[in-house]
A and B are shown apart, each in its own frame.
Chain A
Amino acid sequence: MEAMPEWLTAAEVYDPPTDKDRFIDKSILSFIGLISKIKQQSGREHDRLWVSPVFKLAFTILYIVLVSSTREFTFVYIMLTYIVLVLAALPAPDIRKCLRGALIATVFTYIILLPSALHGNSYSITMIPVKVFASITAVNILSYSTRWDHIIASLKRFHFPDMFIFVFDITIKYIVMLGEFALQMLYALKLRSVGHNKSKYGSIGGVGGTLFLKSRAMSEEMYSAMECRGFTGEYHVTDKFKFSVYDGVYCALNAGFIWMFVYFQNLA
């Protein structure tokens, strides 16, 4: 064993300078937010919304199409009331998250439409923000009440190619894995940023470069692992779909919405 250098055995006398490196903390927080969001969605499914993910996905898309296509105030407000009632069934923290995104988008829509309203176009400002709010809330409810893997698996019912589902599934998993690795790297950068960093962008570039190399290595390893397990380029998604009473009620409700949409269209 080499002898310890003198500086390493003495106490370090160090007065650190101030430096603006809040960007590391902000990046850490955004990565933690992203990872925990995906983990939360993969970890649980609400037992308050019993409907099969296949129907949730299909009717959320239908909901958006109907709300976007109609020009009838009454129909839009009926749909808005319905989505608010569904939202009320979620736990309070999820309601807050769903509303936050929807309200931000609605406020932006109002701001964008304000000049049009000032020129006398009252239809746009009363109709479009409500449609935006209802549609985003519907997507948020789907996202917060259904696991990612269940949404992806339900794509099988819509005859999406297995390979597409596979790539989608793996992408989400890798976002989490690489996100965790990036978080570790940012922690390391934070711990070693003990003074004035003259090359902040260089350090972040280094983190990005290592992340790229890591992602390439991980993809190669995964390819090798799949080959070892007999992967020949075909990926089969197992469909475990079962029609329940709740699915029946949900389908009937949505059939009612379609009927209402047609009814109001004919009235116009």
Chain B
Amino acid sequence: MIELQNVSYAYEGSTALDGIDFKIEKGESVCLLGPNGSGKSTLLKLINGLIFASSGSYLFDGEEITQKKLKDVKFSKHFHQRLGFVFQDSEAQLFCSNVYDEIAFGPRQMGMDEETVEKRVDDCLALLHLESFKSRQPYHLSGGEKKKVAIAATLALNPDVLILDEPMNGLDPRTERWLAAFIIELNRAGKTVITSTHNLELVQEISHRAILFDETHHIAADLPTEKLLENIDLLKKVNLVDEYYHVHEDHGHELFHIHNY
């Protein structure tokens, strides 16, 4: 579904992505792992057609995505409908006067009648437990609530692929747990999910495959999640874990703690 062939991207002389090659199939749940500044967010922008590769090709459903192709309004709109992107900073994603309008923005543009729009918005509100925020101003919600509204507004377009950039940033532990379970549910419902994160516990839960970026903006590994998380030396090498990181059976710990056994 998504294929990158030797993609590189440089901005004002500094390299952000270097020779990136991978393929993501329909229905997969993939995590992009890497330290800060390794190029994960740039890659997500590239997959969403917001920026374009300096060299190499990006194919979506077998069709090469180029700046020229996205100038075709119909193609561009269909492409953006099929890829839903939840930004790291959800606040930047919300620009309507209330939560209802925010979620209804996409379906209304898609030409649905108001009854269908209302059904879709109500479903999204229920799914994300946002019913009581329906008429609130998005800007004045808490960080977790804003994230939920941003996800609801994205889901209302019913995209084939859901892309989340550092979804756990700024969330309280309970919302984190809920969001991890929600991502799993979405993937089970048939959505292709791409999540950028450096939260290793989240990776274990939500994805079966992890692509690891290093500080030189290359792919350091593309492995099944369990295999990658077992390779502690590699995780240390790319500065994702420190010397306290270790694994108990199937769960990795990032924090230092004392063993009683």
Q: Which residues of A contact B (CB under 8 A)?
A: 1-2, 4-5, 7-12, 14-19, 21, 36, 39-40, 181, 184-185, 187-198, 203, 206-207, 209-210, 213-214
Is A5 touching B190 in the complex (CB atoms < 8 A)? Answer: no
* Distance from B150 Cβ to chain A, minimum over Cβ atoms (Å): 8
Known: A2-B127, A12-B158. A195 touches B74 (CB 8 A): no
Q: How many residues of B contact A (CB 8 A)?
A: 47
* C-alpha gap A188/B123 in the complex (Å): 22
Q: Mark B85-117, 1 if CB is under 8 A from A, else 0.
A: 101010111111100000001101111000000
* Distance from B142 Cβ to chain A, minimum over Cβ atoms (Å): 14
Collect the chain B residues with CB atoms within 8 Å of residue A197's CB.
109
Known: A190-B80, A193-B109, A195-B110. A16 touches B85 (CB 8 A): no
Question: Interface centre among A11, A21, A195, A209, by most B CB within 10 Å?
Answer: A195
Select one of A2, A5, A185 contacting B95, CB under 8 A: A185
Q: Which residues of B contact A (CB under 8 A)?
A: 12, 45, 48, 50, 73-74, 77-78, 80-83, 85, 87, 89, 91-97, 105-106, 108-111, 120, 123, 126-127, 129, 139, 153-155, 157-160, 181-182, 185-186, 189-190
Given contacts A14-B78, A194-B77, 8 further A-B contacts (CB under 8 A): A2-B127, A4-B189, A11-B160, A12-B82, A14-B110, A19-B77, A194-B106, A195-B77
Select one of A16, A40, A181 contacting B92, CB under 8 A: A181
Collect the chain A residues with CB atoms within 8 Å of residue B97's CB.
206
Collect the chain B residues with CB atoms within 8 Å of residue A193's CB.
77, 80, 109
* C-alpha gap A67/B190 in the complex (Å): 70
* B12 to chain A: closest residue by CB: A36
* Distance from A265 Cβ to chain B, minimum over Cβ atoms (Å): 46
Collect the chain B residues with CB atoms within 8 Å of residue A190's CB.
50, 80
* C-alpha gap A10/B159 in the complex (Å): 10
* C-alpha gap A36/B12 in the complex (Å): 8
